[in-house]
Structure 1
Amino acid sequence: MDIKEIQSLIKFVAKSGASEVKLEMEDVKITIKTGSSKTETTIVQAAPVASVPQAMPAPAPVAAAPASAPAETASNDAAEDTSKYITIKSPIIGTFYRKPSPDKPNFVEVGSEIKTGDTVCIIEAMKLFNEIESEVSGKIVKILADDSSPVEFDQPLFLVDPS
Protein backbone atom coordinates (compact mmCIF):
# COMPACT_ATOMS: atom_id res chain seq x y z
CA MET A 1 0.00 0.00 0.00
CA ASP A 2 1.61 3.26 -1.09
CA ILE A 3 1.21 6.73 0.40
CA LYS A 4 -1.34 7.90 -2.22
CA GLU A 5 -3.64 4.96 -1.40
CA ILE A 6 -3.32 5.77 2.32
CA GLN A 7 -4.13 9.45 1.69
CA SER A 8 -7.16 8.46 -0.40
CA LEU A 9 -8.32 6.16 2.41
CA ILE A 10 -7.94 8.96 4.98
CA LYS A 11 -10.00 11.34 2.82
CA PHE A 12 -12.67 8.67 2.29
CA VAL A 13 -12.93 7.96 6.04
CA ALA A 14 -13.11 11.68 6.87
CA LYS A 15 -15.94 12.22 4.38
CA SER A 16 -17.85 9.12 5.52
CA GLY A 17 -18.31 10.43 9.05
CA ALA A 18 -16.88 7.31 10.71
CA SER A 19 -15.05 8.01 13.95
CA GLU A 20 -12.58 5.13 13.71
CA VAL A 21 -11.54 2.63 11.02
CA LYS A 22 -9.06 -0.23 11.41
CA LEU A 23 -7.63 -1.99 8.37
CA GLU A 24 -5.37 -5.02 8.71
CA MET A 25 -3.70 -6.76 5.80
CA GLU A 26 -0.86 -9.25 5.73
CA ASP A 27 1.91 -6.67 5.93
CA VAL A 28 0.14 -3.46 7.00
CA LYS A 29 -2.05 -2.39 9.91
CA ILE A 30 -3.75 1.02 9.66
CA THR A 31 -5.95 2.76 12.23
CA ILE A 32 -7.64 6.02 11.28
CA LYS A 33 -9.39 8.04 13.98
CA THR A 34 -11.30 11.21 13.16
CA GLY A 35 -12.25 13.87 15.65
CA SER A 36 -14.05 17.20 15.37
CA SER A 37 -11.39 18.73 13.11
CA LYS A 38 -8.43 16.42 13.52
CA THR A 39 -7.56 13.17 11.74
CA GLU A 40 -5.10 10.83 13.39
CA THR A 41 -3.45 7.99 11.48
CA THR A 42 -1.35 5.18 12.90
CA ILE A 43 0.49 2.90 10.48
CA VAL A 44 2.36 -0.22 11.54
CA GLN A 45 4.15 -2.03 8.74
CA ALA A 46 5.94 -5.37 8.98
CA ALA A 47 8.76 -6.60 6.74
CA PRO A 48 7.99 -6.09 3.03
CA VAL A 49 6.31 -9.01 1.35
CA ALA A 50 5.78 -9.50 -2.39
CA SER A 51 3.09 -6.97 -3.25
CA VAL A 52 -0.33 -8.19 -4.27
CA PRO A 53 -2.80 -5.73 -5.87
CA GLN A 54 -5.39 -4.68 -3.29
CA ALA A 55 -8.91 -3.46 -3.99
CA MET A 56 -9.46 0.05 -2.64
CA PRO A 57 -12.82 1.67 -1.80
CA ALA A 58 -11.37 5.09 -2.74
CA PRO A 59 -13.26 5.56 -6.05
CA ALA A 60 -16.57 6.01 -4.16
CA PRO A 61 -15.88 9.61 -3.02
CA VAL A 62 -14.72 10.57 -6.49
CA ALA A 63 -18.05 9.38 -7.92
CA ALA A 64 -20.04 11.18 -5.23
CA ALA A 65 -18.30 14.55 -5.67
CA PRO A 66 -19.44 15.28 -9.25
CA ALA A 67 -23.01 14.24 -8.40
CA SER A 68 -23.24 16.81 -5.60
CA ALA A 69 -21.74 19.69 -7.64
CA PRO A 70 -24.84 20.29 -9.85
CA ALA A 71 -27.08 20.15 -6.78
CA GLU A 72 -25.05 22.91 -5.15
CA THR A 73 -25.34 25.22 -8.15
CA ALA A 74 -29.08 24.59 -8.40
CA SER A 75 -29.57 25.37 -4.72
CA ASN A 76 -27.60 28.64 -4.82
CA ASP A 77 -30.76 30.51 -5.92
CA ALA A 78 -32.76 29.05 -3.03
CA ALA A 79 -29.92 29.57 -0.55
CA GLU A 80 -31.04 33.12 0.18
CA ASP A 81 -34.52 31.93 1.27
CA THR A 82 -33.25 28.93 3.26
CA SER A 83 -30.21 30.54 4.92
CA LYS A 84 -31.99 30.79 8.28
CA TYR A 85 -32.79 27.05 8.27
CA ILE A 86 -30.64 24.13 9.38
CA THR A 87 -30.28 21.22 6.97
CA ILE A 88 -30.42 17.60 8.14
CA LYS A 89 -28.22 15.66 5.72
CA SER A 90 -27.86 11.96 4.95
CA PRO A 91 -24.91 10.44 6.85
CA ILE A 92 -24.78 7.42 4.50
CA ILE A 93 -25.66 6.24 1.01
CA GLY A 94 -28.86 4.20 0.82
CA THR A 95 -32.63 4.25 0.36
CA PHE A 96 -34.61 6.95 2.21
CA TYR A 97 -37.82 5.96 4.03
CA ARG A 98 -40.10 8.41 5.85
CA LYS A 99 -41.87 5.73 7.94
CA PRO A 100 -40.77 2.67 9.95
CA SER A 101 -42.99 0.30 7.91
CA PRO A 102 -45.59 0.64 5.13
CA ASP A 103 -48.55 0.47 7.56
CA LYS A 104 -47.15 3.03 10.06
CA PRO A 105 -47.35 6.84 9.93
CA ASN A 106 -44.42 9.01 8.79
CA PHE A 107 -41.79 9.90 11.41
CA VAL A 108 -42.18 13.62 10.65
CA GLU A 109 -44.30 15.88 8.44
CA VAL A 110 -43.88 19.49 7.38
CA GLY A 111 -44.70 21.51 10.50
CA SER A 112 -43.68 18.75 12.96
CA GLU A 113 -41.78 19.89 16.04
CA ILE A 114 -38.62 17.82 16.63
CA LYS A 115 -36.08 17.61 19.44
CA THR A 116 -32.45 16.54 19.39
CA GLY A 117 -32.38 12.73 19.22
CA ASP A 118 -35.82 12.30 17.58
CA THR A 119 -35.87 9.82 14.68
CA VAL A 120 -36.72 11.70 11.48
CA CYS A 121 -36.32 8.91 8.90
CA ILE A 122 -34.72 5.55 8.09
CA ILE A 123 -32.01 4.93 5.51
CA GLU A 124 -31.56 1.37 4.31
CA ALA A 125 -28.00 0.47 3.38
CA MET A 126 -26.95 -3.08 2.54
CA LYS A 127 -30.15 -4.56 4.03
CA LEU A 128 -29.61 -2.71 7.32
CA PHE A 129 -32.16 -0.12 8.41
CA ASN A 130 -30.45 2.87 10.04
CA GLU A 131 -32.60 5.26 12.07
CA ILE A 132 -31.49 8.83 11.39
CA GLU A 133 -31.81 11.02 14.46
CA SER A 134 -32.04 14.80 14.47
CA GLU A 135 -29.04 16.69 15.80
CA VAL A 136 -31.11 19.88 16.16
CA SER A 137 -34.39 20.98 17.71
CA GLY A 138 -36.98 22.94 15.78
CA LYS A 139 -39.79 22.70 13.24
CA ILE A 140 -39.63 20.78 9.94
CA VAL A 141 -40.03 23.36 7.17
CA LYS A 142 -39.40 21.22 4.08
CA ILE A 143 -38.79 17.56 3.22
CA LEU A 144 -36.20 17.45 0.43
CA ALA A 145 -36.13 13.71 -0.42
CA ASP A 146 -38.90 11.50 -1.79
CA ASP A 147 -39.98 8.41 0.14
CA SER A 148 -38.33 5.15 -1.05
CA SER A 149 -35.79 7.06 -3.16
CA PRO A 150 -32.02 6.58 -3.21
CA VAL A 151 -29.95 9.19 -1.37
CA GLU A 152 -26.25 10.04 -1.48
CA PHE A 153 -23.84 10.76 1.38
CA ASP A 154 -24.30 14.35 2.64
CA GLN A 155 -27.49 14.87 0.57
CA PRO A 156 -29.92 17.31 2.22
CA LEU A 157 -33.03 15.50 3.56
CA PHE A 158 -34.88 18.09 5.70
CA LEU A 159 -34.89 21.82 6.38
CA VAL A 160 -35.44 22.71 10.05
CA ASP A 161 -36.36 26.10 11.49
CA PRO A 162 -34.47 26.20 14.82
CA SER A 163 -36.46 29.12 16.25
Structure 2
Amino acid sequence: MDLKEIQNLIKFVANSGVAEVKLEMDDVKITIRTTLEGNVTETTYVQQMPAQPVLQQAVAPQQIAPAATSSETPAASEESKYITIKSPIIGTFYRKPSPDKSVFVEVGSTIAKGDVLCVIEAMKLFNEIESEVSGKIVKILVDDMSPVEFDQPLFLVDPS
Protein backbone atom coordinates (compact mmCIF):
# COMPACT_ATOMS: atom_id res chain seq x y z
CA MET A 1 0.00 0.00 0.00
CA ASP A 2 1.66 3.23 -1.09
CA LEU A 3 1.44 6.72 0.42
CA LYS A 4 -1.12 7.97 -2.16
CA GLU A 5 -3.51 5.11 -1.34
CA ILE A 6 -3.17 5.82 2.39
CA GLN A 7 -3.84 9.55 1.84
CA ASN A 8 -6.95 8.72 -0.22
CA LEU A 9 -8.14 6.36 2.52
CA ILE A 10 -7.67 9.08 5.16
CA LYS A 11 -9.63 11.60 3.07
CA PHE A 12 -12.41 9.07 2.48
CA VAL A 13 -12.72 8.27 6.20
CA ALA A 14 -12.64 11.96 7.18
CA ASN A 15 -15.43 12.79 4.70
CA SER A 16 -17.57 9.76 5.56
CA GLY A 17 -18.30 10.79 9.15
CA VAL A 18 -17.06 7.50 10.59
CA ALA A 19 -15.29 7.83 13.94
CA GLU A 20 -12.73 5.04 13.52
CA VAL A 21 -11.57 2.62 10.84
CA LYS A 22 -9.11 -0.23 11.29
CA LEU A 23 -7.61 -1.92 8.24
CA GLU A 24 -5.50 -5.00 8.82
CA MET A 25 -3.91 -7.05 6.07
CA ASP A 26 -1.23 -9.67 6.38
CA ASP A 27 1.61 -7.16 6.55
CA VAL A 28 -0.06 -3.76 7.03
CA LYS A 29 -2.13 -2.37 9.90
CA ILE A 30 -3.74 1.06 9.65
CA THR A 31 -5.99 2.76 12.21
CA ILE A 32 -7.68 6.07 11.34
CA ARG A 33 -9.60 8.02 14.02
CA THR A 34 -11.54 11.24 13.45
CA THR A 35 -13.42 13.49 15.83
CA LEU A 36 -17.13 14.06 15.28
CA GLU A 37 -16.46 17.59 14.02
CA GLY A 38 -14.07 16.16 11.43
CA ASN A 39 -11.35 18.63 12.46
CA VAL A 40 -8.72 16.19 13.68
CA THR A 41 -7.63 13.01 11.98
CA GLU A 42 -5.25 10.70 13.82
CA THR A 43 -3.59 8.01 11.74
CA THR A 44 -1.55 5.09 13.00
CA TYR A 45 0.38 3.26 10.31
CA VAL A 46 2.29 0.09 11.08
CA GLN A 47 5.07 -0.56 8.56
CA GLN A 48 4.75 -3.52 6.24
CA MET A 49 6.98 -6.54 6.62
CA PRO A 50 9.45 -7.04 3.74
CA ALA A 51 8.72 -10.76 3.35
CA GLN A 52 5.12 -10.24 2.14
CA PRO A 53 4.35 -10.01 -1.61
CA VAL A 54 3.29 -6.63 -3.01
CA LEU A 55 0.25 -8.09 -4.82
CA GLN A 56 -1.71 -8.54 -1.59
CA GLN A 57 -1.40 -4.85 -0.70
CA ALA A 58 -3.43 -3.59 -3.67
CA VAL A 59 -6.60 -5.59 -2.91
CA ALA A 60 -8.19 -3.65 -0.03
CA PRO A 61 -7.88 -0.08 -1.38
CA GLN A 62 -9.51 -1.13 -4.66
CA GLN A 63 -12.47 -2.54 -2.74
CA ILE A 64 -12.89 0.72 -0.81
CA ALA A 65 -12.44 3.11 -3.77
CA PRO A 66 -15.69 2.27 -5.68
CA ALA A 67 -17.77 3.07 -2.60
CA ALA A 68 -16.12 6.48 -2.34
CA THR A 69 -16.72 7.43 -5.96
CA SER A 70 -20.34 6.26 -6.01
CA SER A 71 -21.25 8.27 -2.89
CA GLU A 72 -19.51 11.44 -4.15
CA THR A 73 -21.04 11.45 -7.66
CA PRO A 74 -24.28 13.37 -6.82
CA ALA A 75 -22.38 16.05 -4.90
CA ALA A 76 -19.88 16.46 -7.73
CA SER A 77 -22.63 17.05 -10.30
CA GLU A 78 -24.19 19.83 -8.15
CA GLU A 79 -20.83 21.54 -7.70
CA SER A 80 -19.70 21.22 -11.34
CA LYS A 81 -20.96 24.73 -12.17
CA TYR A 82 -18.54 26.21 -9.62
CA ILE A 83 -14.83 26.88 -9.98
CA THR A 84 -12.65 25.07 -7.45
CA ILE A 85 -9.69 26.97 -6.01
CA LYS A 86 -7.04 24.46 -4.98
CA SER A 87 -4.00 24.61 -2.76
CA PRO A 88 -0.80 25.27 -4.71
CA ILE A 89 1.38 23.92 -1.88
CA ILE A 90 1.45 21.58 1.11
CA GLY A 91 1.11 23.33 4.47
CA THR A 92 -1.26 24.62 7.13
CA PHE A 93 -4.36 26.55 5.98
CA TYR A 94 -5.25 29.79 7.78
CA ARG A 95 -8.34 31.92 7.05
CA LYS A 96 -6.87 34.97 8.88
CA PRO A 97 -3.62 36.92 8.37
CA SER A 98 -3.04 36.71 12.15
CA PRO A 99 -5.03 35.47 15.17
CA ASP A 100 -6.29 38.96 16.11
CA LYS A 101 -7.43 39.91 12.58
CA SER A 102 -10.66 39.05 10.76
CA VAL A 103 -10.92 36.33 8.11
CA PHE A 104 -9.99 37.09 4.49
CA VAL A 105 -13.27 35.81 3.00
CA GLU A 106 -16.59 34.36 4.18
CA VAL A 107 -19.20 32.31 2.36
CA GLY A 108 -21.06 34.84 0.23
CA SER A 109 -18.08 37.20 -0.14
CA THR A 110 -17.58 38.68 -3.60
CA ILE A 111 -13.99 38.31 -4.76
CA ALA A 112 -11.98 39.72 -7.64
CA LYS A 113 -8.97 38.29 -9.43
CA GLY A 114 -5.92 38.90 -7.22
CA ASP A 115 -7.79 39.11 -3.89
CA VAL A 116 -6.12 37.22 -1.02
CA LEU A 117 -8.31 34.28 0.05
CA CYS A 118 -6.19 32.63 2.72
CA VAL A 119 -2.66 31.99 3.94
CA ILE A 120 -0.85 28.66 3.80
CA GLU A 121 2.12 28.19 6.09
CA ALA A 122 4.86 25.99 4.71
CA MET A 123 8.21 25.63 6.45
CA LYS A 124 7.62 28.72 8.64
CA LEU A 125 6.79 30.87 5.58
CA PHE A 126 3.30 32.33 5.22
CA ASN A 127 2.16 32.26 1.59
CA GLU A 128 -0.82 34.40 0.59
CA ILE A 129 -3.12 32.52 -1.79
CA GLU A 130 -4.69 34.88 -4.28
CA SER A 131 -7.79 34.28 -6.37
CA GLU A 132 -7.27 33.61 -10.06
CA VAL A 133 -10.99 34.21 -10.78
CA SER A 134 -13.70 36.72 -9.92
CA GLY A 135 -16.97 35.62 -8.40
CA LYS A 136 -18.71 34.76 -5.14
CA ILE A 137 -17.47 32.32 -2.47
CA VAL A 138 -20.02 29.49 -2.30
CA LYS A 139 -18.25 27.12 0.07
CA ILE A 140 -15.08 26.98 2.16
CA LEU A 141 -13.89 23.37 2.02
CA VAL A 142 -11.13 23.45 4.66
CA ASP A 143 -11.27 24.28 8.37
CA ASP A 144 -9.02 26.99 9.78
CA MET A 145 -5.60 25.76 10.96
CA SER A 146 -5.95 22.46 9.09
CA PRO A 147 -3.18 20.75 7.14
CA VAL A 148 -3.68 20.81 3.36
CA GLU A 149 -2.14 18.81 0.55
CA PHE A 150 -0.98 20.01 -2.85
CA ASP A 151 -3.96 20.41 -5.22
CA GLN A 152 -6.49 19.96 -2.38
CA PRO A 153 -9.72 21.94 -3.00
CA LEU A 154 -9.99 24.97 -0.69
CA PHE A 155 -12.89 27.08 -1.99
CA LEU A 156 -15.83 26.80 -4.39
CA VAL A 157 -16.47 30.00 -6.37
CA ASP A 158 -19.54 30.87 -8.42
CA PRO A 159 -18.11 32.83 -11.38
CA SER A 160 -21.49 34.28 -12.46
Alignment of 1:38-49 (within 5 A): none
Q: Work out whether 1:145 is the aligned partner of 2:85.
A: no
- 1:64–1:152 Cα contact (<8 Å) kept: no
CA–CA separation in structure 2 for the residues paired with 1:115 and 1:77:
29
Moved more, 63-72 or 102-111: 63-72
TM-score normalized with structure 1 length: 0.58
Name the structure 1 match of 2:105. 108
Name the structure 1 match of 2:155. 158
Using a 3 Å threshold, how does the CA distance of structure 1 residues 161 and 104 change in structure 2: closer, same or farther?
Answer: same
Name the structure 1 match of 2:91. 94
Secondary structure (helix, strand or coil) at the match of 2:81 reads coil
CA–CA separation in structure 1 for the residues paired with 2:91 and 2:124:
9
Q: Work out whether 1:131 is the aligned partner of 2:128.
A: yes
CA–CA separation in structure 2 for the residues paired with 1:68 and 1:133:
27
Deviations 1:118-138 (A, max 9, x none): 000000000000000001100
TM-score normalized with structure 2 length: 0.59
Secondary structure (helix, strand or coil) at the match of 2:99 reads coil
Gaps spanning 5+ residues in structure 1: where?
1-61
Name the structure 1 match of 2:7. 67
1:80 to partner: Cα distance: 1.1
- How many residue pairs end up in the alignment? 102
Secondary structure (helix, strand or coil) at the match of 1:103 reads coil
CA–CA separation in structure 2 for the residues paired with 1:66 and 1:132:
27
CA–CA separation in structure 2 for the residues paired with 1:97 and 1:107:
9
Gaps spanning 5+ residues in structure 2: where?
13-67
Name the structure 1 match of 2:43. none
CA–CA separation in structure 2 for the residues paired with 1:66 and 1:77:
24
1:76 to partner: Cα distance: 2.6
CA–CA separation in structure 2 for the residues paired with 1:104 and 1:149:
18
Give the 4+ runs in structure 1 shifted more than 4 A: 68-72
CA–CA separation in structure 2 for the residues paired with 1:117 and 1:148:
22
Using a 3 Å threshold, how does the CA distance of structure 1 residues 89 and 75 change in structure 2: closer, same or farther?
Answer: farther
Deviations 1:62-106 (A, max 9, x none): 634652476573543311110100000000010000000011000
